[in-house]
Amino acid sequence: MMDLRRLALVVVTVAVTVVGEFGCGCFGNVLTLNVLRKFAGHGKNLSALRAHDIRRHGRLLSTIGVDLPLGGNGHPSETGLFFAKIGLGNPSKDYYVQVDTGSDILWVNCAGCDKCPTKSDLGLGLTLYDPKKSSTSSLVYCDQDFCTSTYDGPLPGCKPNLQCQYNVVYGDGSSTAGYFVKDNMKLEQVTGNLQSRSTNGTVVFGCGARQSGELGSSSEALDGILGFGQANSSIISQLAASGKVKKSFAHCLDNIEGGGIFAIGEVVSPKVKRTPMVQNQAHYNIVMKDIEVGGDLLRLPSDIFDSGDQKGTIVDSGTTLAYLPSSIYEPLMTKILSQQPALNLHTVEDQFTCFQFAGSVDSGFPVVKFHFEDSLVLTVFPHEYTFQIREDIWCFGWQNSGVQSKDGKDMILLGDLVLSNKLVIYDIENQNIGWTEYNCSSSIKVKDESSGAVYSVGAHDIGSASSLRIGGILTLLSIIIALLHSSIA
């Protein structure tokens, strides 16, 4: 397993900002994307799942302006990631990409790539994008607006017809590099409740040219990543810049039935209570105020919830588990276990605290509540913060971030394990996040900004459709969690 301290990254060249590059003249209203789960099946390798989070945290702890991904799933033993099948190019070809709120660009591995994975342990057929074989593809150059805006001016050494490139090197020697292209993305314009028609929209995305180290491994490999971070380069920002959607999205991750909903645009039903985002942060940071276990508030250091560099609470659907500083993790676990004093604990794969339990975990363990600014509460039930690896063997999803990295020791990171079975809304325009308990196998109502119409969008399986549907609202169907594999945005 990779240590976080080895993942401090150095950016050699990164130019990923995209301003108003989404060509949406063709569409009207609602957009959907179908996804699959990455780690389907029971009893998957727990170290591999946590390694996903570890690699992602190395990116989260970077100090550069490029937001780098992680991953996750509500139940690590069931699924570790959900990914989408999207269409790119003309003629359109299908690509499997991880859906990730902690990543800022869409990128796929490209033809001629050095050491890009050629097969996936997930049983998927990987496809290399070839810009030369797409009639609608065009290169993005270093003197164009989105590249120069990243550096607040012309790039050093930039000359006409030089590509806009990125190159990220990690402390352990792993690296990823590529260049940016503009091409068609296959879209489905939603024309009514559960009705749509095919169309195309133009997006700017990364074309991966070189991977090394962990990033070239076939383990958990996909074709790329579809990012929903706050930067101008993300899909949500490209869509919002087109004027077709609000800069807001929501996900509902269903770890009961599997699948869920991911929507871009204004969710009008259900209504949710919200808390402000911490300003000027690369990730989705909010302010936690207290933690309650079984009805009792934990006695914690007064400064533990301070926001700031490598502090505060990050909400991230790209992370599987929940990571807490030692000063929170230890009293939290002590309080939880006080309800079962005779419980025999075991360490599984050198990192997971597990136990044998034959009864209902909801009856045997306390509810945990995280209290946030403006009285927003995240309620986490025992069946949500634990997971089964065998019929009578359970593990806790809480992880001690204080033992992972000196840099990340004060970080609170809430992943899909505790975000599941809740509709979570990220309102980037108004800088707030909110959620409510919800049946993620049902539907939500979203508003089309162009017409004012309201449509019902429900959870579907990727088998029922394979394209990204776009318009005033984007819906990612059949999602559960994004557990970062070894690639970058």
Active site residues: 100, 316
Both structure tokens of 424: 């979570």
Q: How many other C-beta atoms are found inside a 10 Å radius of the C-beta of residue 177?
A: 22
Instruction: Provide the token pair at 430.
Output: 């108004």
Please, is 168 exposed, middle or buried when counting C-beta atoms within 10 Å of its C-beta (0-12, 13-18, 19+)? buried
Which tokens belong to 452?
């004012």
Rounded distance, CA 65 to CA 63, Å?
Answer: 7
Hey, is 331 helix, strand or coil?
helix
User: Alpha-carbon distance 466 to 96, whole Å?
Assistant: 10
Cα→Cα distances 153→15, 147, 149, 373, Å: 12, 9, 6, 38
The CA distance from 336 to 79, in Å, is: 25
In total, the chain counts a number of residues equal to 489
Residue 276 pairs in a beta bridge with 432
Asked if 214 and 115 count as a contact pair (C-beta separation under 8 A), the reply is no
Cβ contact 481:79 at 8 Å: yes
Sequence-ordered list of residues with C-beta below 8 angstroms from that of 334, at least 6 positions apart, any chain: none
8 Å CB contact between 206 and 166 = yes
145: its two tokens:
């607006």
CA 477 – CA 345 distance, rounded (Å): 38
The residues facing 205 across adjacent strands are 181
C-alpha–C-alpha distance, residues 17 and 146, integer Å? 5
Query: Which pair of tokens denotes residue 459?
Result: 């959870």
The Cα–Cα gap between 354 and 365 comes to 14
